[in-house]
Amino acid sequence: MAANGPEPAIDFRTSPERYNHWKLDIDGAVATLAMDVREDATLKPGYRLKLNSYDLGVDIELYDAIQRLRFEHPEVGAVILTSAKDRVFCSGANINMLGVSSHAHKVNFCKFTNETRNAIEDASEFSGQRYLCAINGTAAGGGYELALACERIILADDGSSAVSLPELPLLAVLPGTGGLTRLVDKRKVRRDRADFFCTVSEGVRGKRAVEWRLVDEVVPRSRLDETVQARAKELASTRPGARGISLTPLARTIEGDRISYPHLVVEIDREQRAAHFRIHGPEQQAPADAAGIEAQGDAFWPLALCRALDDAVLHLRLNEGEIGTWVFHTAGDAELVAAYDALLLANAGHWLAREITLYWKRTLKRIDVSSRSLIALVEQGSCFAGTLFELVLAADRSFMLDGRLEGSNLPESAVRLTGMNFGPLPMGNGLTRLQSRFLAEPEAAERLREEIGKPLDASSAGELGLVTFTPDDIDWEDEVRLAIEERASFSPDGLTGMEANLRFAGPETMETKIFARLTAWQNWIFQRPNAVGPEGALQLYGSGRKPQYDRGRV
């Protein structure tokens, strides 16, 4: 869906007073996030969100709520995820929505929903906000996948409440948000039982659900609320109190092909199908301590920039599908960037410093899994240091100017490593981007610690393997132009496949399986006639007609 096409652009900015689908309640150390989907509040016409089914709009609100719990309510130690509707938890992604959506929208919807589920697990593991799911009815498909993202699952034992992943038998597709992977990797469900579970549309309930590790506990409906509150208080008992900050509305203006935020401008070149991210470094010194970070709140440069970058990535992914190359530029004082990194690292035990670093980790991961070509340009006056240098390491190809361009009085290009490059910002494979870069020479990545804090010119950065090419002023313009033009000339499908295969070398994790193995298969299945053809299961769902399958195995 292009922003200049017939459909309006999707906006990821929201806030609790604008929620249509979620109710957030805070009671001391325990928060309750209740799903109460408004049937008529759809992202676009053509369907109704019955039975707590969801579209992208429902998940945009959920993502916002998870973010706000982390930044605005650090006193919360446990989050109860449940339904405000009687005897239905969530029936998963809305099938009619999938039927009227473009292929690109379906795939991006699944990707964003996966990232939101991962954010729940990240909050449980690293933020001390542990998620507990209270299933008070039917949890089908994406509804059960939402529960799977939680640390604990409690199911009502009432003869009707059940969990299921019915996508294969009913829709000829796969559970789209990590259900298959979480079953066997996270909950360690036996493969034979998982096979049966994923092929029986009515699901599993009661004691069998516990025995098969599909849920952690079943409780009579009469005692469900009482038990869930008790379990949540147990989970939250070790959470230290803190006062949160407000996430104020994100300032953004779109004028033609220019998207402007504080600290970030994105310029779209439609002829070259490229978006240029122009990041502005901090203009003032970093605060002295954690109290200074709190005092600045969401205006604190690393947080303000991360919010802008996150929104820009989401906006481009969903609304600018033909802009296939993202080019990263920075401008500013690298020493100031390094000072902000040092402040966050020195206060890693402080809740807000930790949350800002974790937010950068998630945003960089979002860039990693975006199906776009990534190019970084280290130019004169750039400030690719520490956290911002991760964008160079994330790029499929990087160029660093050797020397000065004629007539420019800006400082010569330099890059700088900080402690942020050595652990706090891992990729989905569990490795740092430096470790992933030097898989064949693990010792090379470790030796780079000796370079922390040093301004590295093009010659040094090239010798250390930190950038791809270091053209001089004579070749700079032509090499960069040709790289961007070349990217625009290739098949977008081929590029997506190539980039995804090259970016995640090294160990496989549950996260890489979800974004690589699962997403690749679902991407393919979403285009097959067995699912989306005129006689496919997705198209005929609810019609009473049986799908007609091509029986050939491919």
> Rounded to the nearest 5 degrees, what angle is found at the Cα of 176, between the Cα atoms of 170 and 179?
90
Q: Is the pLDDT of residue 1 over 60?
A: no
Task: Please tell me which residue, 518 or 441, carries the higher pLDDT value.
Answer: 441
Q: Are residues 344 and 476 in the same domain?
A: yes
Arithmetic mean of pLDDT, 140-164: 97
What pLDDT score was predicted for residue 3?
40
Q: State the alpha helices, DSSP H only, in 93-212.
A: 95-100, 103-126, 142-148, 167-171, 179-181, 191-197, 206-211
Q: What is the largest CA-CA distance in the chain?
A: 78
Q: Are residues 222 and 364 in the same domain?
A: no
Q: Is the pLDDT of residue 47 over 70?
A: yes
The residue out of 452, 482, 498 marking a domain boundary is: 498
Q: Are residues 200 and 287 in the same domain?
A: no
Burial of 476 (0-12, 13-18, 19+ CB in 10 A): buried
What pLDDT score was predicted for residue 517?
80
Q: Are residues 465 and 348 in the same domain?
A: yes
Q: Are residues 409 and 487 in the same domain?
A: yes
What pLDDT score was predicted for residue 542?
86
Mean pLDDT of the chain: 95
357, 106 Cβ separation under 8 angstroms: no
Q: Rounded to whole angstroms, how far apart are CA atoms 414 and 402? A: 9
Range of the domain at 437: 253-498
Domain membership of residue 157 (yes or no) is yes
Q: Is the pLDDT of residue 238 over 80?
A: no
Percent over 70 (pLDDT), the chain: 98
Please give the DSSP secondary-structure letter assigned to residue 248: P
What pLDDT score was predicted for residue 241?
64
Domain membership of residue 284 (yes or no) is yes
What pLDDT score was predicted for residue 189?
98
Q: How many domains does the chain have?
A: 2
Q: Are residues 258 and 227 in the same domain?
A: no
Rounded to two decimals, the pTM is: 0.96
Where residue 68 sits, what CATH number does that domain have? 3.90.226.10
The residue out of 202, 236, 270 marking a domain boundary is: 236
Provide the b/e sequence for 309-332 (b: ≥16 CB within 10 Å). Answer: bbbbbbbbbbbbbebbbbbbbbeb
Q: Are strands 30-35 and 253-255 parallel, antiparallel or unpaired?
A: unpaired
Q: Rounded to whole angstroms, how far apart are CA atoms 310 and 15? A: 16
Q: Are residues 319 and 190 in the same domain?
A: no
277-314 confidence digits (pLDDT tens)? 999 999 999 999 999 999 999 999 999 999 999 999 99
Residue 362 to residues 116, 245, 306, 324, 373: CA-CA distances in angstroms? 10, 19, 10, 21, 19
Lowest-confidence segment of 59-63, 167-171, 264-268, 389-393 by average pLDDT: 167-171
Q: Are residues 22 and 120 in the same domain?
A: yes
Q: Is the pLDDT of residue 61 over 50?
A: yes
Domain membership of residue 170 (yes or no) is yes
Domain membership of residue 43 (yes or no) is yes
Domain membership of residue 391 (yes or no) is yes
* Residue type at 24 in one-letter notation: L
Q: Tokens 């090499």: give the residue.
A: 479
Domain membership of residue 396 (yes or no) is yes
Q: Are residues 165 and 266 in the same domain?
A: no
Q: Is the pLDDT of residue 2 over 70?
A: no
482-493 confidence digits (pLDDT tens)? 999 999 999 999
Q: Which residues pair with 397 in a beta bridge?
A: 375
Q: Are residues 225 and 282 in the same domain?
A: no
The residue out of 203, 236, 269 marking a domain boundary is: 236
425, 405 Cβ separation under 8 angstroms: no
Q: Is the pLDDT of residue 53 over 80?
A: yes
Domain membership of residue 454 (yes or no) is yes
Angle between helices 103-126 and 351-368 (to 10 degrees): 150
Residue 60 to residues 138, 252, 515, 529, 541: CA-CA distances in angstroms? 22, 17, 19, 30, 26
Lowest-confidence segment of 107-111, 143-147, 252-256 by average pLDDT: 107-111
Q: Are residues 271 and 386 in the same domain?
A: yes
171-187 confidence digits (pLDDT tens)? 999 998 999 999 999 99
Domain membership of residue 7 (yes or no) is no
Residue 185 CB partners (closer than 8 Å, separation 6+)? 510, 513
What pLDDT score was predicted for residue 70?
97
370-399 confidence digits (pLDDT tens)? 999 999 999 999 999 999 999 999 999 999
Tell me which H or E stretch contains 22: strand 22-27
Lowest-confidence segment of 73-82, 474-483, 508-517 by average pLDDT: 508-517
* Residue type at 421 in one-letter notation: N
Q: Are residues 374 and 476 in the same domain?
A: yes
Task: Please tell me which residue, 147 or 522, carries the higher pLDDT value.
Answer: 147
97-110 confidence digits (pLDDT tens)? 988 899 899 999 99
Arithmetic mean of pLDDT, 314-334: 97
